[in-house]
Structure 1
């Protein structure tokens, strides 16, 4: 990105959202945020568009795999692609990500191998990937706990004298959890180089955001001494700019920033949820008109950048990725029966060894383990 400089502190967020592409795909000028995306050429925007299309295709494929009994569960991200891709593509390679369970688009952008996205959901592994290979922790199921991990890592980076930043993702519902609020207290107190990225998708499972937040969520952060930004989470360009701005503060040692990306969860909370029981169809229809992919496509079409040939190439890439994703899922090897006891403790542990021995004896008694222990 180009060299830029922002003020030491960000003002309290206005109720209106930072937006660079409106719902129809028209470019909206913003003197503050335009410099942060001045390097995004037409070709670069096509790459972002391809990211959006590919991660939606992965998400649809994963949902189908779950419905076909190949995955135990899947947390869809349908509708939230721009919030995840825009923020992920703003990160430096050495920045570290701490996510919840829905940030599969972020994982894709960080280079996580396709089958690793579903290992946990297929039940073939306790963890999907090596965090240090892609600088992204494996998904956190406990709501909000990852914010504490992000702050701890960020404080460690500051003590180490490096300018690495962390980013932590969570939903609107998590902002009511103690962990998130405690993380913000620590981040503000120690000037941690961390970006709190809240994807306000309007629902905490079946509870609407208005039940717990009478004012914009971004207004909470200044109370902790953390500046905040409120951005259109369905605008990939605005999300990229806002995240770059927040990361700039973190990298130069100015501390944490809170981003509220206002978006909408178009599907269920997870594949075990039935949103038709609580979502007003008219509300969903209203948000469907703000689709993050459609607006980028409209902009690129109007600019003459997205030709039919380019669009066909993007669609073909998405199909190829989806096919590789499905094949990778279906060919994941089952783990050895006793591997569940591996890597529980760093050092030998007598209690764990006893449990392993008992489980091995049981498996042998029912004929599920023959020959060696594995």
Structure 2
């Protein structure tokens, strides 16, 4: 069987789907790396909502996907940008997601860390920013989850220089109940975060970020870096205080950063591990045995798909992630909160299918093919 896929130039090309998927088996957590998958939310396709409405979430399917990730030994990074925080999922929806997922993690014995930010406000003073962070910090801690302190659009707007960032983060770290993960999300993921840490010069911003960490190392489990700059991440992780982890958020260079070198390595907190979960877990288990070459041979071929999903404008990578979840059978539809399923072109989605199928990511390749053909037919591509 073949399928006609549209290319970026408007022409159709013939693709022959694979018939045998990879079949990574579920397993226990890893021993050499701490690995989180940032997880997407599943929209309720029957909800009568508009793009401006509060998110309507299919809670059963959303939680089932988290159980899928836990079954392979992955931790879940909840209510992050992969879950469309600030792009369809508001704070009320995120708080409900945190509570439900944390309870599910406890029942399943899975690891979970949840994002705490300031998206219940759109601006205001530094005091308002602190109060917004404190509200979300309390929700995550009361749910029994580890805290990920997310970058804040409101703080980026209110801060007048590095000292304001240091004051706010120092205040939050002093009052946190346990060690948190500090998240530095670059402007390629959210343009409103341009100049975060008080400077658009990344060398200066990195110094401020490290100052925030080194002032309270006992309250920082790790830092999550999402700048898509491997050399900068390597330099930063070598400058971290002892005991503070570096969690790569680099969805372009993750194989080499996780593998590491003779001076260290990165752990992982990645949106691309949403579609790659079982394969990524298999690769890390190989790494647990000390087989770096085997790890890289499994994970490096996935980088082409990751670069495609996260191509500019990077913030719309969620559309490809949800497409692949639908094609893989993790949800019954290709609908997203906020109508974000329309954010990528048909050629982009077709290429995502082709790359994922080539990697063997679909446990039922026939189902994926049929669903892709259904999507194509809606755009007038007849097979």
* TM-score normalised by the chain length of structure 2: 0.35
* TM-score normalised by the chain length of structure 1: 0.35
Larger Rg: 1
